[in-house]
Amino acid sequence: MTRPPARSDRRSDRRSRSGRRDRPTPPPEVENTAELPMHPPGALVEGGLRVFALGGISEIGRNMTVLEYDGRLLVVDCGVLFPAEDSPGVDLILPDFRAIEDRLDDIDALVLTHGHEDHIGAVPFLLRQKPDLLVVGSRFTLALVAAKCKEHRLTPHLLEVAEGARLRHGRWDCEYFAVNHSIPDALAVAVRTPAGLLLHTGDIKLDQLPLDGRLTDLAGFSRLGDEGVDMFLVDSTNADVPGFVTPEREIGPVIEGVFHRASSRIIVACFASHVHRVQQVLDAAAKHGRRVCLVGRSMVRNMGIAGELELLQIPDGLLVDLDEAMTLPDDQLVLVSTGSQGEPLSALSRMARGDHRSVRIRPEDTIILASSLIPGNETAVFGVINGLTRLGATVIHQGNAKVHVSGHSPAGELLFLYNAVRPSNVMPVHGEWRHLRASGRLAVQTGVPEDRVVLAENGVVVDLVDGIASISGRVEVGRVYVDGLSVGDIGESTLSDRLTLGEGGFIQISVAVDARTGRAVAPPTVSGRGFSDDPKALDVVLPLIEDELSRTENEGITDPHRIAQAVRRVVGKWVGETYRRRPMIVPTVIAV
């Protein structure tokens, strides 16, 4: 894996040696998938199993994998991706459904491995296109999906499953396995088809002392390994991290220690779905005679569900609402809040800026960020930490105490998984390229032949035929943006304009000309936004515009579009030479 074959003929050598024949049109031979051009795969060969991702491979988020066998489809997960700085103003990014849009009726079921947003967040958007889709998942997962669908005014068709269950969804023979992750009730799914057995881990880790005693079913995976796993889709998010995850239950004593030392108010921020983390906070609070106030809509909703399902044990009278919380002595209160990623509108960010409605941070306060720092959020999170620290509070976070552990298996645990499953073919999922390659290397180290590791980013189609997985083509998988109420009307052109405007603002020139003569009938006006704080900055360009308008008039140009082009050129040249900046130049010429 470290050094993929340098010559494409090496790969085809292996292929011929492996004895496959009668393949549909093969894709162009390439050194690796990064160079694979768009090449729609041919029809799936009879008896073959097809796998491709509409999201979640070559990125972390919007996980969605499609399986095809004998004309029927099974979808695993349907999540969202939270946008980074390259997608300004966007709320969410969805998987690209285009490749299955014409075949929605072929889908027998949508299987959800667990309830995190990057696995269930896009379900309502898929249900809008196919409201009667069968949605399969564990109890907690489905409760979260139901709550989400309710907000979208959708009533999904749900089928609850639990670990140990083996049942058919249409053409698909599915078996479910308990998986340990940073949310309760996560599942892996094994799919048996005549083409072979496929195991998809979902998100996974191997905490050997899980708080709820629900271990990842490594024994079950081993039995599958005995039976023979032909295709292993494995969570590779932490594949480049060495070692093992610290047990979640080691966080409890750390949190307790902080409670023990804190003499005044405590605020804990963590993910709104991390039931076990919140449980440890509730336990520490109960032990230290503190009441707990949950803050943030998703925190309140999710913990309510977890409480109802008895996944969260809430001692009677422990919880208080914010109004009551504000009447309690500081040393009898814990706030448990969202906002651990520095989201600017969250309660915690408001507190750090000193503009929260009811909570004013004081030097006696202790704040615990019991969460990871998701890459890309550093500036925001450190901004919150600095804001709280500036106000004198003590801030405990991942960087100075063991108050968070990851939910994904690092390299050491992945070796256990590969060795238990002993797969014939491996397709790393859930990860950026650096993670996929690292996972592939681990597979090879455990004995998977190099050419049986398929690094297939979103859209790359992998067919399992005669027990051998290989790439058969590539479908287009773009990014589908949600901004406000609208889905999909924002694309690369709008985002590119936003980036330009965000970097340099714009200069607007308005001109009214006589439709017949092209002569300006009023003095042109020029104004800028996001260009300069100096109100007179643009005055000097007005004479240049007037000169240009005289020129176009003298040349008999009356077409508003051509006049606008001329104005744009003059102003663009001036601003480039004078300021060395590139604002958007927006001329409007009205013919009257």
Helices 542-554 & 560-579, crossing angle to 10 degrees?
150
408 catalytic? Reply is: yes
113 and 77 Cβ atoms separated by less than 8 Å? yes
Query: What is the distance of C-alpha 387 from the center of its chain?
Result: 27
Count of residues that interact with its own copies, criterion CB under 8 A: 85
- Catalytic site residue from 39, 397, 408, 435: 408
From 67-75, 225-233, 269-277, 500-508, give the range in contact with its own copies by CB under 8 A. 500-508
| Token digits of residue 524 | 């042109």
Nearest to residue 87, comparing CAs of 467, 498, 518? 498
| Token digits of residue 398 | 């991942």
Among 386, 517, 550, 554, binds its own copies (CB under 8 A): 386
State the nearest-atom distance from the C-beta of 349 to its own copies, in Å.
13
**CB-wise, 421 or 538, nearer to its own copies?**
538
State the nearest-atom distance from the C-beta of 428 to its own copies, in Å.
12
Which residue do the tokens 């455990």 mark?
A: 446
Among 42, 247, 376, 412, binds its own copies (CB under 8 A): 376
Residue 437, classed as helix, strand or coil, is helix
What's the half-sphere exposure (Cβ side, CA atoms, 13 Å) at 446?
23
Alpha-carbon distance of 487 to 92, in angstroms, equals 9
From 70-78, 184-192, 204-212, 531-539, give the range in contact with its own copies by CB under 8 A. 531-539
**CB-wise, 317 or 363, nearer to its own copies?**
363
Residue 109, classed as helix, strand or coil, is strand
Classify strands 291-295 and 394-397 as parallel, antiparallel or unpaired: unpaired
**CB-wise, 100 or 507, nearer to its own copies?**
507
- Using rule CB under 8 A, residue 446 touches its own copies: no
Query: What is the distance of C-alpha 533 from the center of its chain?
Result: 37
Among 101, 212, 308, 497, binds its own copies (CB under 8 A): 497
Q: Check whether 116 is labelled as a binding-site residue.
A: yes
Alpha-carbon distance of 493 to 479, in angstroms, equals 13
- Using rule CB under 8 A, residue 378 touches its own copies: yes
- Catalytic site residue from 77, 185, 235, 451: 235
Alpha-carbon distance of 529 to 64, in angstroms, equals 41
Classify strands 107-111 and 72-76 as parallel, antiparallel or unpaired: parallel
State the nearest-atom distance from the C-beta of 37 to its own copies, in Å.
13
Element at 143 (helix H, strand E): helix 139-151
Among 362, 402, 551, 573, binds its own copies (CB under 8 A): 362
Among 532, 546, 568, 574, binds its own copies (CB under 8 A): 532
The footprint of its own copies on residues 84-113 (CB under 8 A) is 84-86, 88-89
DSSP per-residue letters across 418-431: HHHH--SSEEEESB
- Using rule CB under 8 A, residue 400 touches its own copies: yes
The footprint of its own copies on residues 25-84 (CB under 8 A) is 31-32, 34-35, 58, 84
The phi and psi torsions of 502 (rounded to 5 degrees) equal: -70, -30
235 catalytic? Reply is: yes
Among 104, 328, 499, 544, binds its own copies (CB under 8 A): 499
State the nearest-atom distance from the C-beta of 123 to its own copies, in Å.
20
The footprint of its own copies on residues 545-564 (CB under 8 A) is none
Element at 439 (helix H, strand E): helix 433-445
The binding site comprises 89, 91, 114, 116, 118-119, 181, 203, 272-274, 404-408, 430, 483
The binding site for Ca(2+) comprises 89, 91, 483
The binding site for Zn(2+) comprises 114, 116, 118-119, 181, 203, 430
Catalytic residues: 235, 408
